[in-house]
Chains A and B, each alone.
Chain A
Amino acid sequence: MREYDTIIIGGGPAGLAAAVEIYNEGVTDILILERDIQLGGILQQCIHNGFGLHEFKEELTGPEYAQRFIDKVEELKIPYKINTMVLDITKEKEIHIMNSEDGYQILKAKTIVLAMGCRERTAGAISLPGTRPVGIITAGTAQYYLNMKGYLVGKKVFILGSGDIGLIMARRMTLEGATVLGVAEILPYSGGLTRNIVQCLHDFDIPLYLSHTVAKVKGKDRVEGLTLMEVDENRKPIKGTEQEFEVDALLLSVGLIPDNELSESADIDIHRRTNGPIVNEKMETNVEGIFACGNVLHVHDLVDFVSAESRRAGRGVVRYLNGEKTLSKGVETVNGQGVSYVVPQKLHVDQIEGKFAEVFLRTTDVYHDAKIVIKLDGKEIKTFKRPHLAPAEMEHLKINKELIDIDYGQLSVEVVEKEAN
C-alpha cells in the first residue's frame, strides 16, 4: 500500500495553511482530501470582509483570503482530491476514502492532519419549541444558499442567536431585499463581535433582543410566525413578555461544534469543553503522528489565528517525520475560575519553538478591568491585564517558556476581576 508522508483531511483554511507549511519545511509527499467541489472550505461562502488583518495586514473577504492559500497550493503543485469523502480513519493511520473517480480506497499515511472544521448547532440541538415547518434553517446554510446558489431563503426573517454568522446574515439578507425583524439572544450579552453588532444591526436599525428567546415556532408546512419572550436569569421565559412576529424564515445562529466523528474513530481523546482533540504545543493529539488544527480543534473567531495554528501543526508534522522526540512529561493546562477552556491542553517545554508558550482561551463571562492570572502548581507566575473580556472574543497569551521550565506540572489560567475600591 502506498504510504504518504502526510495526509490532510479538509481543504479549508486550516488544511491549506498546514499543507503549505509542511511543503515549505521540506516534506513534499502530501495529499489534501476535500469533500466539497473546491478548496477553500467555509471561507468561500463568507463573502463579507474583515479577514486577513493579522495574516496579510490588509482587509480581505473570505474568498480572497482563501484564494491566496489556494493559489499557493496550486503554485507548489501540492496534490489534492476534491469531491472526496473520508469515511473512516484508524489509529494505525489508515484513511478510508470514497469518490466517484477512484471509488472506495484505503490510503496509508505516516502523519495525519485533522482539519475538518466545525458544524452548526441545529433546531434539534437547542430543543427549539414548537413545530418543525420548512423555513427553520441554520444561518450558515442560509448563507450557502444565498452566496453560493443565489437563493434568498425568506423575505420576513427573524434570527435566533447572536453569533457572528447570524449577524452577518442579518445585513446580507437586508441588502438583498429581505426584512430582518430582529435578532434574539438568550444571554444578556451578544455572542458576536462588537463590530458586527454595529455594522450589521445598528446600520440597518435591526433590533437586538438580549435576554430573549423564541418560545414557540408556528406554522404547519412553512414557518408562519414565532413568539418571542424575555427570559429571567435562569433563562426561563417570563410570563407576560410575549411578542408575536410574522415570519417566513427563522435563522439559527446558536453555536458551532467541532466536527470530530472521524477523530473519535481513530481513538483520539476529545476534550469535553472544546469538543475538539486534546493537543500539545505542536497541535499533536494523544495518537502520535496525528495532528489537529483550526475549528476542528476549537472554534475560532478569526481565521488569521486558524492559519497561524495550522502552520504550527504543519511544523509539528515535519518535526515528527524527522524523528524528534519529546523529553519532558509535560505541563497540563487547566481552566480555572472564569475560563471556559485553554488550548493546547499540554505543553512540553523542551518542544516549544521560540521563547514563548502560546495559549488560547475563552472566558465564561463578560469581564471589565480584569486580569488573567497564570499559576504553575498553584503559584502565580504571570498576570495579563485586560480592560475587556468576553466569551465571544478568544484571548491569546504568550508566556515566557522559562517561567514554566519544569518536567511536569499543572498550569492554571483564571480570571480575576479588579475589586472596586
Chain B
Amino acid sequence: MKEWDVVCIVCPKGCRMKVTEENNDMKVSGNQCKRGLTYGVKEVTNPTRVITSTVKVNHPIHRRMPVVTKGAVPKGMMLDVMKEINLIELELPIMVGDMIIGDVLGTGINIVASRTIK
C-alpha cells in the first residue's frame, strides 16, 4: 500500500489529508468536503496549479494587466506557461474575462484578463 500526506489547497481551510493506494484503489481521508476528494487523488496522480501573472499594457496610467489561467495547468509546466505570458503585450480596453491566450501550450486551458481596464 502506498500512502501520501497531502494538504488540500482548494480553499483556505487547508485540510490535512491522507491519500492511500491499494490495488489501484485510491482513498482519501481527512477531507472536509467533496472537492478535497478530487484534489487528493489528482495531487498524487497528476498535480495541477492555477497560474496568475501580469502582462504588459500600453496605457497612460496602468502598466500591467493581471491574468489568470481559467482552470489548472500541469504543475511541471508552470515555468513554460510563464514564458508564454511574458511574450504578450496588450492594447486596451480589455474587460475582465477577455481571452488573452487560448489553449496555452496545448493544455486546453485559456488565459484570461482578471480585471477591466478601459
Contact = CB atoms under 8 A, between A and B. Distances in A.
Interface in A47-78: 47-50, 53, 59-64, 66-67, 70-71
A203 B54 contact: no
Contacts of A59: 11, 50
B54 A150 contact: yes
A146 B53 CA distance: 10
Contacts of A49: 50, 52, 68
Most buried by B among A64, A66, A149, A199: A64
B12 A50 contact: yes
Interface of A: 37, 40, 44, 47-50, 53, 59-64, 66-67, 70-71, 146-150, 175-176, 193-195, 197-199, 203, 301-302
B66 A149 contact: no
Q: Closest 7 CB pairs between A and B?
A: A194-B14, A63-B115, A47-B66, A195-B9, A61-B114, A195-B14, A198-B7
A174 to B, nearest CB: 9
Given A47-B54, A64-B114, A195-B9, A147 B49 contact: no
A147 B54 contact: yes
Contact of A175 (B14, B51, B64): B51
B78 interface: yes
B12 A195 contact: yes
A63 B11 contact: no
Given A67-B115, A194-B14, A149 B68 contact: no
A22 to B, nearest CB: 24
Contacts of B53: 47, 175-176
Contacts of A53: 11-12
A166 B7 CA distance: 19
Interface in B1-51: 7-9, 11-14, 16, 49-51
B61 interface: yes
Contact of B64 (A150, A198, A203): A150
B88 interface: no
A149 B9 CA distance: 29
B32 to A, nearest CB: 10
Interface residues of B, number: 28
Given A50-B12, A198-B9, A67 B82 contact: no
Contacts of B7: 194-195, 197-198
A283 to B, nearest CB: 23
A47 B56 contact: no
A362 to B, nearest CB: 15
A194 B75 CA distance: 19
B97 to A, nearest CB: 8
A194 to B, nearest CB: 3
B96 interface: yes
A203 B64 CA distance: 26
Given A64-B114, A175-B82, A195-B9, 19 more contacts: A44-B115, A47-B114, A49-B68, A53-B11, A61-B52, A63-B66, A63-B114, A64-B96, A66-B115, A67-B96, A67-B116, A146-B54, A150-B56, A150-B63, A175-B53, A175-B79, A195-B11, A197-B7, A198-B14
Contacts of B75: 203
A48 B114 CA distance: 10
Contacts of B54: 47, 146-147, 150
Most buried by A among B7, B66, B68: B66
B76 to A, nearest CB: 11
Given A64-B68, A64-B115, A47 B63 contact: no
A365 to B, nearest CB: 18
Given A203-B49, A302-B12, A37 B63 contact: no
Interface string B57-86: 000010110101000000100110010000
A47 B82 CA distance: 14
11 contacts: A40-B115, A47-B66, A48-B52, A70-B116, A147-B54, A148-B63, A175-B51, A193-B14, A194-B7, A203-B75, A302-B12
A199 B48 CA distance: 11
Contacts of B66: 47, 61-63, 147
A62 B64 CA distance: 14
A302 B8 CA distance: 17
A301 to B, nearest CB: 7
B63 A193 contact: no
Contacts of A198: 7, 9, 14
